[in-house]
Amino acid sequence: MEQFNEIRRAGAVKRYHTVDTVRTQNVAEHSWHVAQIVRYIYPTASKELILAAIDHDVGEIHTGDIPAPFKWQYPEVATDLKTIEANFVKSLGVGHSLS
């Protein structure tokens, strides 16, 4: 149950926290949109692909949503973040195998 609650908490992570926006978006809303895009582009998407789309930012519960322009400017930080988030996601048992 603790892992479930931790995964659910990821949905509340705020996105675009360094940018002035009209309204706040969280990871749950973003992930839903990503899953819908996958479903639209690939109507026969596997359950594993849809789950990967939904869960793709779960690691941000541990690191926060680091803005893409920052990661582009500092690729070494992006690499470290990817490793940190992947290890955290693995500890939650949420990783997905895609081919």
Tens of pLDDT, residues 41-72: 999 999 999 999 999 999 998 888 998 899 99
Q: What is the tally of structural domains in the chain?
A: 1
In a domain, 99, yes or no: no
Question: For residues 90 and 6, which has the higher predicted lDDT (pLDDT)?
Answer: 90
DSSP class of residue 13 equals P
Q: What is the CATH number of the domain that holds 66?
A: 1.10.3210.10
Tens of pLDDT, residues 6-24: 888 888 888 887 778 788 8
Q: Which residues contact 53 (CB under 8 A, 6 or more apart)?
A: 31, 34, 35, 37, 38
In a domain, 97, yes or no: no
In a domain, 19, yes or no: yes
Q: Which domain holds residue 38?
A: 2-92
What pLDDT, on the 0 to 100 scale, is given for residue 29? 93
Q: Per-residue pLDDT for 1 more than 80?
A: no
What pLDDT, on the 0 to 100 scale, is given for residue 95? 79
What pLDDT, on the 0 to 100 scale, is given for residue 13? 85
Instruction: Answer for the pair 90, 68: CB distance below 8 angstroms, yes or no.
Output: no
In a domain, 71, yes or no: yes
